[in-house]
Chain A
Amino acid sequence: GAVVSQHPSRVICKSGTSVKIECRSLDFQATTMFWYRQFPKKSLMLMATSNEGSKATYEQGVEKDKFLINHASLTLSTLTVTSAHPEDSSFYICSARIMGQGANEQYFGPGTRLTVT
């Protein structure tokens, strides 16, 4: 159990275009999903926390108008990188917290590798 999927796994786009990444919890309902970014050989950086039906909470320094997050249902959150630039190239990973459990375990999706040319 506790499987999280992401789509696409890899995407290459041109500078100035927008890219949407989907994160789905496949076998559980997730009240909260998280979006992380990781540069090569660097640690995970939390970008934002999204709760179903409400606005995402962004970490300091993360532009909410550039990284649009929509948590439309208990099993789906999307991250849209708008007007992408080469410096946005990174490994984007979502995670989900299981609804109703007191524990704070997070389960990560497989990640999306974004390359902006």
Chain B
Amino acid sequence: QKEVEQNSGPLSVPEGAIASLNCTYSDRGSQSFFWYRQYSGKSPELIMSIYSNGDKEDGRFTAQLNKASQYVSLLIRDSQPSDSATYLCAVTSGGSYIPTFGRGTSLIVHP
């Protein structure tokens, strides 16, 4: 059973701070890792994908992958109230293109 674990939160950070969201996965053969943002009542939106160990930066977002420790994280710099949403981690493995989603972490950025 492939599992993707996220702390449900909520994670509350002040505006301007760095928000750190974490995700662990059980299948050591996992190959593709994704972060989606989902606003309340809306569908998920892909914000980052990462495939190799290390950091990948895109604007205020940085994804960090550590396959040895089986975790992937998302850092949001200069957090804004508009970043308040649920962040879903998704992982594919074993040659499958069907991702396993975590339950999501709720992020609240307060002014």
Contacts and interface: CB of A to CB of B under 8 A. Distances in A.
Interface residues of B, number: 20
A103 B32 contact: yes
A46 B44 CA distance: 13
B98 A49 contact: yes
A109 B99 contact: no
B34 interface: yes
Interface of B: 32, 34, 36, 42-46, 49, 51, 88, 90, 92, 97-99, 101-104
A104 B92 contact: yes
15 contacts: A43-B88, A43-B104, A44-B101, A49-B98, A91-B43, A93-B44, A103-B49, A103-B51, A104-B32, A104-B34, A105-B34, A105-B49, A106-B34, A108-B36, A111-B42
Interface residues of A, number: 18
A109 B43 contact: yes
Contacts of A105: 34, 46, 49
Given A103-B51, A104-B92, A108-B43, A32 B102 contact: no
Interface string A60-74: 000000000000000
A27 to B, nearest CB: 15
Interface secondary structure of A, over-half rule:
strand
Contacts of B99: 104, 106
A34 B43 contact: no
Nearest to B102: A43
Given A93-B44, A108-B36, A108-B45, 16 more contacts: A34-B98, A43-B103, A44-B88, A44-B101, A49-B98, A91-B43, A103-B49, A103-B51, A104-B92, A105-B34, A106-B46, A106-B90, A106-B99, A108-B43, A111-B42, A111-B43
